[in-house]
C-alpha cells in the first residue's frame, strides 16, 4: 500500500500494533512514500517489495540474514520499540545497514507500571482483595503479615538506565532504601540519581525485599531468573519484571519458589512465551487457586502503553528514518 505524495525514498513498515500507519506517513510526507508490508511472519515478506526499500521500520516481525539479503537499497532499519532481540543486528551491520532502536518513548509508562506493581504487592493489595470476598463475620481484623512499611524495606533495581532511573526517582519519596546494579552506568551515576550502588548482583539479591528488573535482553540476562538466582534472594522477596520475559529461565523455577515461599509474590508484564503457553503455574493463576491468588499478578505486555506513548513511539521511529534519509544523522544506533 502506498501512502503520501511522491517522494524520493520508500520506507517499508513490516507490521503494526495499531494499523494503519497513517501517523508514520504524515511524518514522512515529502520525504518518503510508505509501503505497509503488513505481515508478522518473516517468511511472508515480499522480496520484490523489500528490494525497493530505502528504510525499514520494524514492529514484531523477525529480521534475520535471509531478509537482510533482500534489502539491497536499504540504508537504515529502525525498530519501533526498545528491544531488538528479533533483529539480527550483526547481519545488518555486515551488509552495511545501520540499525536504530527507539528507547526514548514510554519511559514514564513502564516506570509507573513497575512502581504500581511494586507498591500493590508490597501492600499485599491483591491478596487482601482475594481474601476479602470470603469475610463475613469479621472485617478490619483480617490483616496480613508480614507487611513492611516502605521506609523499612529495601528495593533492588537491576538496570538503572532510563527506565530504572525513572523508577528510582518515583520510589525515593516513599522512603525505600534503594540499591542499584548496572555495570553499564558510569561512576558517580548513583550520586546523581540517588541510590546506593552495589558492584555484585548477589549483594543486591541478598539484601533486597523487592527486586525490580529494568535491563535489556542480552546473552548475560537471558535466563537470568533461574533456580540459582531465586535461591540467592532474601527469603520472602517480591519480584517485579517489566523488562523481558526471556529473562525467566522458564516458569518451573518461579513456580517452585512461589510454592516454597522463597518468593512471596511476583508482578510481571512479560512472560517467556507470549501469548503464554500452558503451564501449571499459569493454570493455577487462571483458576485463582487459593495458594497463589494475589501472589502472581500478570499484565499482557502493555506496560509501555498509554495513548500518548503510542503516538510518541510511532512518531519517533518515523522521525529517526527521516533524519537519516534526509540528513545522514543516525540517532539511537545499536552496534552488534
pLDDT, tens digit, 9 for 90 and up, residues 21-39: 999 999 999 999 999 999 9
pLDDT score for 5: 47
Q: What is the mean pLDDT of residues 109-126?
A: 98
Query: Is pLDDT above 90 for 53?
Result: yes
pLDDT digits (tens, 9 = 90+) for 130-186: 999 999 999 999 999 999 999 999 999 999 999 999 999 999 999 999 999 999 999
Which residue out of 73, 200, 222, 274 is catalytically annotated? 274
Does 244 participate in catalysis according to the annotation? Answer: yes
pLDDT score for 16: 87
How far apart CA 42 and CA 46 sit, in angstroms, is 9
Indicate the pLDDT class of residue 2, thresholds 50, 70 and 90: very low
Query: Is pLDDT above 60 for 257?
Result: yes
Query: Is pLDDT above 90 for 269?
Result: yes
* Cα dist from 74 to 99, 213, 271, 279, 296, whole Å: 11, 35, 33, 42, 44
Indicate the pLDDT class of residue 6, thresholds 50, 70 and 90: low
Handedness of CA 164, 167, 173, 176 (dihedral sign): negative
Which residue out of 75, 301, 305, 331 is catalytically annotated? 301
Query: Is pLDDT above 80 for 17?
Result: no
C-beta separation of 150 from 170 below 8 A: no
Q: What is the mean pLDDT of residues 187-193?
A: 97
pLDDT score for 123: 97
Mean pLDDT of the chain: 95
148 closest CA partner among 116, 179, 180, 124: 124
Handedness of CA 259, 150, 247, 200 (dihedral sign): negative
How far apart CA 15 and CA 288 sit, in angstroms, is 35
Joined together, the cell numbers standing for residue 250 give: 522458564
Q: What is the mean pLDDT of residues 14-25?
A: 90
What element of type H or E holds 66? helix 65-68
Query: Is pLDDT above 70 for 261?
Result: yes
Does 279 participate in catalysis according to the annotation? Answer: no
> Helix, strand, coil % (nearest 5) of the chain?
35, 15, 45
Which residue out of 79, 113, 244, 295 is catalytically annotated? 244
Amino acid at each position: 500500500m502506498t501512502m503520501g505524495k511522491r517522494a524520493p525514498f520508500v520506507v517499508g513498515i513490516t507490521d503494526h500494533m495499531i494499523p494503519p500507519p497513517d501517523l508514520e506517513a504524515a511524518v514522512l510526507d515529502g520525504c518518503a512514500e510508505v509501503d505497509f508490508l503488513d505481515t508478522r511472519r518473516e517468511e511472508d515478506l515480499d522480496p520484490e517489495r523489500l528490494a525497493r526499500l530505502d528504510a525499514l521500520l520494524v514492529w514484531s516481525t523477525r529480521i534475520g540474514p535471509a531478509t537482510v539479503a533482500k534489502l539491497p537499497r536499504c540504508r537504515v532499519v529502525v525498530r519501533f520499540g526498545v528491544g531488538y532481540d528479533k533483529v539480527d543486528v550483526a547481519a545488518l551491520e555486515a551488509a552495511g545497514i545501520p540499525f536504530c532502536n527507539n528507547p526514548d518513548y514510554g519511559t514514564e509508562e513502564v516506570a509507573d507500571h513497575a512502581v504500581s506493581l511494586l507498591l500493590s504487592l508490597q501492600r499485599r493489595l491483591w491478596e487482601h482483595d482475594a481474601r476479602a470476598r470470603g469475610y463475613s463475620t469479621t472485617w478490619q481484623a483480617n490483616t496480613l503479615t508480614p507487611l513492611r512499611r516502605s521506609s523499612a524495606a529495601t528495593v533492588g533495581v537491576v538496570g538503572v538506565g532510563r527506565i530504572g532511573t525513572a523508577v528510582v526517582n518515583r520510589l525515593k519519596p516513599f522512603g525505600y532504601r534503594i540499591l542499584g546494579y548496572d555495570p553499564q552506568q558510569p561512576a558517580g551515576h548513583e550520586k546523581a540519581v540517588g541510590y546506593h550502588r552495589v558492584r555484585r548482583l548477589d549483594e543486591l539479591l541478598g539484601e533486597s525485599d523487592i527486586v525490580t528488573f529494568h535491563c535489556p535482553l542480552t546473552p548475560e540476562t537471558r535466563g537470568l531468573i533461574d533456580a540459582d538466582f531465586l535461591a540467592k534472594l532474601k527469603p520472602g522477596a517480591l519480584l517485579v519484571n517489566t523488562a523481558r520475559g526471556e529473562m525467566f529461565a522458564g516458569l518451573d523455577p518461579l513456580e517452585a519458589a512461589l510454592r516454597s515461599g522463597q518468593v512471596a509474590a511476583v508482578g510481571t508484564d512479560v512472560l517467556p512465551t507470549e501469548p503464554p503457553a500452558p503451564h501449571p503455574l499459569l493454570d493455577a493463576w487462571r483458576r485463582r487457586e487459593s495458594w497463589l491468588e494475589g501472589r502472581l499478578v500478570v499484565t499482557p505486555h502493555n506496560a509501555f502503553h498509554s495513548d500518548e506513548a503510542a503516538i510518541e513511539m510511532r512518531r519517533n521511529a518515523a522521525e529517526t528514518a527521516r533524519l537519516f534519509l534526509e540528513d545522514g544523522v543516525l540517532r539511537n544506533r545499536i552496534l552488534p
